[in-house]
Amino acid sequence: RWAEWTVAQVIDRIKPRNEKIGSTGQDLFRYTEVLEAMAKQPEYIDPLSNFQKRIAYANAFGTDFQVPTTTAAFLSADSNYPHETMETQESFFALKVQTLPGHQSDASEDCLSQRLDSLGWTKVFCDVRGDIPVPSVPVPGWKPSHIPQQTSWTSKELIPIVTSSGERFHLPLGHSVMVANSRNDSYSKFSAQGRKVVNKMAADMIADILLLEEKLHQCTDEDDEENDQDKDKEVPHEKKMTIVI
């Protein structure tokens, strides 16, 4: 989060703020309460809860200054919300965890990350250190990154594990790599190795859509059978599943 802090400090010295940065900048650097409201108020939380799945991708090991790991995965040092380890076969996924909805944590009710975690999320921590096309630099005294084999973590326990940079310094340019930024030829070449992350995400999304379609067909068939058996009764039709895309 050093980049966020540095930029915020520079902006904080520019007076008056509202004449130098727009409303979006004020919201992002939390000069307003918009972000807090979005994590608390039902008008924002309720639509998010309608999704069948919620998945957050985050770059691990200090490779992303644009969206740091703790921000992308909304981890908090003040939260004990449990994260269960999930199995993953992809070598470029350092860790995959999930939060289950409705768990009661010891964290303060004002903890924004806990309110988001309580909806139920899958969090994927990507390791793109070997995909950034800029040489890394060994740093004496730095220790290799290591993710212990355990079945569950708290939010605050995850932070030192997924933010450790390891024994080498990598330029934190992983954001463009992870999203396979291809706005021009230069970006495409720079982020070429990140396409595997986007391809995996797209494949999982398509598989989920096909599975959901199959479930909807099953629901439709069940409704048709019920209607055939009881044509004379007028029963309000209720939807079996909510789709949010």
Q: Tens digit of pLDDT for each residue in 95-127?
A: 999 999 877 655 454 578 888 999 999 999 999
The one-letter code for the residue type at 72 is: A
Half-sphere exposure of residue 148, counting CA atoms within 13 Å on the CB side?
Answer: 8
Q: Which run of H or of E encompasses 156?
A: helix 155-163
Segment 182-195 shows an average pLDDT of 92
Q: With 0-12 CB in 10 A as exposed, 13-18 as middle and 19+ as buried, what is 66?
A: middle
Q: Which residues of 43-56 are buried (b: 16+ CB within 10 A; e: fewer)?
A: eeeeeeeeeeebee
Q: Distance from CA of residue 189 to its chain's centroid?
A: 25
pLDDT confidence tier of residue 85, bands split at 50, 70 and 90: very high
**Does 235 score more than 90 pLDDT?**
no
Residue 33 phi, psi dihedral angles, 5° rounding = -105, 20
Alpha-carbon distance 82 to 150, whole Å? 12
User: How many of the other CB atoms lie within 10 Å of CB of 71?
Assistant: 14
Q: How far is CA 118 from CA 21, 79, 103, 114, 208, in A?
A: 33, 11, 6, 6, 22
Q: Tell me the percentage of the chain whose pLDDT exceeds 70.
A: 78
Alpha-carbon distance 199 to 182, whole Å? 14
pLDDT confidence of residue 244: 38
Q: With 0-12 CB in 10 A as exposed, 13-18 as middle and 19+ as buried, what is 187?
A: middle
What's the token pair of residue 115?
Answer: 């309110």
Q: Tell me the percentage of the chain whose pLDDT exceeds 90.
A: 47
**Does 10 score more than 70 pLDDT?**
no
Q: Which run of H or of E encompasses 124?
A: strand 121-126
- Computed over every residue of the chain, the mean pLDDT equals 82
Alpha-carbon distance 36 to 27, whole Å? 10
pLDDT confidence of residue 237: 47
Q: What is the pLDDT of residues 86-101, one digit of tens each?
A: 999 899 999 999 999 8
User: How many of the other CB atoms lie within 10 Å of CB of 134?
Assistant: 9
* Residue 123: closest CA among 159, 95, 104: 95
- Residues pairing with 57 in the sheet: 124
